[in-house]
Chain A
């Protein structure tokens, strides 16, 4: 009984997380936590960008380069 409850809650968390991530990625904003863990894992010496800096960087990358989107 308990196991099902835990897995249900887990599924719920996964769904909510995926949904948020999808919505943010739709407007070009990758997951910040993923970025942080990537920086911690592969560039432990370097300082990671703050969320605000990350946000600005991604915004420029999405719209600044003049990439087209579909009709």
Chain B
């Protein structure tokens, strides 16, 4: 009787959630309130956390609260510190939540909000949160080692090296795609450009202040920095309206690309305390604050969703990115559903601070649920703006034209009624001259956030402020990621190249560092430039590459989970990791195959290259290329992207082969072969 009563309250939660989800899924024709989505998501998370994560914790992994964690074993007060689980949750969440969960759902909204929502909820419960949890567990039982080390240890050196190389390439693509988002948001926008540029002197001032004036006073300088940022937003408004200053901060995409590349190189070469650290403080606190503000805004305003539940683009042929729902939806939304990059965080600083192994459930599984909620909010923000405006912002000019009249006509023809006046008015509301052709997620999300937040604070007059606040907030942490990512890439590169040229491995040598930094910046800069000049908007090319590689990394992490479960002799529970790994393999391999070989030039790199190569051979120009050289460049880039896709497929397949071999060997063994740090009991408190 008692045990039934314990489940009763959860039954109510489940019923509320099912009712909300049913309302979201079954409403056709009439627009529904965003709160239904919020309720459906929260109930799903609660049930999944209460039951599925408990099942994984007790049955599958067998968490042991009496086992000494690395934080206790190696306690040094610095890296290894037993930390309160709520405090550590904040740390972990701040490390995993970035631009990813905000951008993917916005791009996926072209299919309507329902497919994206279902994948976010299903994906996080059965794949994303499972991955984060299992990797955190594996790393905690092995002194907090990194993913690369864990793969080496449990599968062998070769798969370890392959995974490391794959991670480096993913990093390059991520940096390119993040930088592309900033370029798309700031092109022809003096307000945005000034505001984002102003963050550099603000961060430099903070850096000097923290180093020499009041060392280590993070709180007070962050407040000062925040005030300066808000002043920069108002300054940007003044600049954009000034006939003298406005044009000085108006740049096209190519100019911004070169600036970003130069910025990336200089920023990654400066001492960390000067620019990277203070910018990181600002972006982290702003990120957390904005996420909370958005949550409050959505609950308070309770916006109505304007986007249909499912649009005709669920059949494929969407303007933002091409390809069918399967497999492309599942790679477009990565962070928020399942993201391979989290495996690097879960095997990074977090396992070194776990106070008790039992907390891995709350931090690993729970932390990912929280990130998933951020993705749901981004989806809501994108779905509550007018669909016509959404498609106008996200469709490339080559498809819909470049004047408000042409764009409005094309998009109305798709069935999303919109007038040129609406497009001009939206641009005016947010303080811009145009909102057309701003694919990439950030501007769309900014319009959505402005739409929600201006109803809470400021009214219509503040809409432009909120728009640029949202742009600033995204650009700020993307620039931090570009800086930190270039440094991380540099270290990986020095590590990899050091195997061949030992002199390059020395991280204290300035020429070696500058060479590696240059190579790193050149690599992502190349893809960024390619994306900016891409007539189909760049996102169409780069985002699938990012999605495929990121989901493949997730598959690799989950395969590691399967291997470890086999080696622990818990193979009867291996499906918990094997099922999502198989699903990700099916999605990413299909998507990778289609990106290379699809006969549709909008999807397949090779057929797109062939189209332009034929044109070259016959001496005809194919729009939007204007010269034979431009066409030759398109052909080369397409083949390069196809090669990259093939490389990712090779990486994931070889890890698969090694996983299967290791699992079979583990099955034959008579006792557990997992290489955990030997058990030591937790000291009595």
Q: Report chain A residues within 8 Å CB of B219.
A: 20, 23
Q: Report chain B residues within 8 Å CB of A55.
A: 210, 215-216
Instruction: Scan residues 327-378 of chain B and give those whose CB is less than 8 A from a CB of chain A.
Output: 334-335, 339, 341-342, 344-345, 348-349, 353
Instruction: Scan residues 33-56 of chain A and give those whose CB is less than 8 A from a CB of chain B.
Output: 34-36, 38-39, 42, 51-52, 54-56
Partner of B81, one of A26, A30, A36: A30
Q: Is the CB–CB distance between A71 and B339 below 8 Å?
A: yes
Q: How far is the CA of A24 from the CA of B79 in the complex (A)?
A: 14
Q: Is the CB–CB distance between A25 and B481 below 8 Å?
A: no
Q: How far is the CA of A40 from the CA of B666 in the complex (A)?
A: 45
Partner of B91, one of A25, A54, A65: A25
From B487, which residue of chain A is reached at the shortest CB distance? A66
**Interface mask (A12-24 → B, CB under 8 Å = 1, otherwise 0):** 0000001011111
Q: Report chain A residues within 8 Å CB of B489.
A: 66
Q: How far is the CA of A36 from the CA of B95 in the complex (A)?
A: 26
Known contacts A24-B218, A38-B75; A70 and B342 CB within 8 A of each other:
yes
Partner of B86, one of A18, A30, A59: A18
A31 CB within 8 Å of chain B: yes
B403 to A: closest C-beta gap in Å? 34
Q: Is the CB–CB distance between B550 and A71 below 8 Å?
A: yes
| Top 3 A-B pairs, shortest CB-CB distance | A66-B491, A55-B216, A22-B90
Q: Is the CB–CB distance between B216 and A51 below 8 Å?
A: yes
Q: Is the CB–CB distance between A70 and B96 below 8 Å?
A: yes
B227 to A: closest C-beta gap in Å? 17
Q: Is the CB–CB distance between A71 and B272 below 8 Å?
A: no
A29 to B: closest C-beta gap in Å? 6
Q: Is the CB–CB distance between A34 and B81 below 8 Å?
A: yes
B485 CB within 8 Å of chain A: yes
Q: Report chain A residues within 8 Å CB of B281.
A: 27
From A31, which residue of chain B is reached at the shortest CB distance? B81
Q: Report chain B residues within 8 Å CB of A61.
A: 78-79
Partner of B276, one of A26, A35, A52, A63: A63
Known contacts A24-B218, A70-B96, A70-B342; A63 and B86 CB within 8 A of each other:
no
Q: How far is the CA of A68 from the CA of B90 in the complex (A)?
A: 18
**Interface mask (B73-95 → A, CB under 8 Å = 1, otherwise 0):** 00111110101101111110011
A51 to B: closest C-beta gap in Å? 6
A2 CB within 8 Å of chain B: no
B436 CB within 8 Å of chain A: no
B386 CB within 8 Å of chain A: no
Q: How far is the CA of A28 from the CA of B218 in the complex (A)?
A: 11
Q: Report chain A residues within 8 Å CB of B481.
A: 69, 71
B551 to A: closest C-beta gap in Å? 12
Q: Is the CB–CB distance between B91 and A26 below 8 Å?
A: yes
From B348, which residue of chain A is reached at the shortest CB distance? A67
**B binding-site residues for A, Cβ under 8 Å:** 75-79, 81, 83-84, 86-91, 94-100, 171, 174, 178, 210, 215-216, 218-219, 272-273, 276-277, 280-281, 284-285, 288, 334-335, 339, 341-342, 344-345, 348-349, 353, 481, 484-485, 487-492, 550
Most buried by A among B87, B90, B171, B490: B87
Known contacts A57-B78, A63-B484, A66-B491; A25 and B348 CB within 8 A of each other:
no
Q: Report chain B residues within 8 Å CB of A27.
A: 218, 277, 280-281, 284-285
User: 29 interchain pairs (CB within 8 A)?
Assistant: A18-B87, A21-B87, A22-B90, A23-B90, A25-B83, A26-B95, A26-B288, A27-B277, A30-B78, A30-B353, A35-B78, A51-B215, A55-B215, A56-B216, A58-B78, A62-B277, A65-B491, A66-B487, A67-B348, A68-B485, A69-B98, A69-B481, A69-B485, A70-B95, A70-B97, A70-B98, A70-B335, A70-B339, A71-B550
Q: Is the CB–CB distance between B487 and A63 below 8 Å?
A: yes
B570 to A: closest C-beta gap in Å? 29
Q: Is the CB–CB distance between B90 and A52 below 8 Å?
A: no
Q: Report chain A residues within 8 Å CB of B81.
A: 30-31, 34-35, 38
Partner of B99, one of A24, A67, A71: A71
Q: Report chain B residues within 8 Å CB of A22.
A: 86-87, 89-91
Q: How far is the CA of A58 from the CA of B79 in the complex (A)?
A: 9
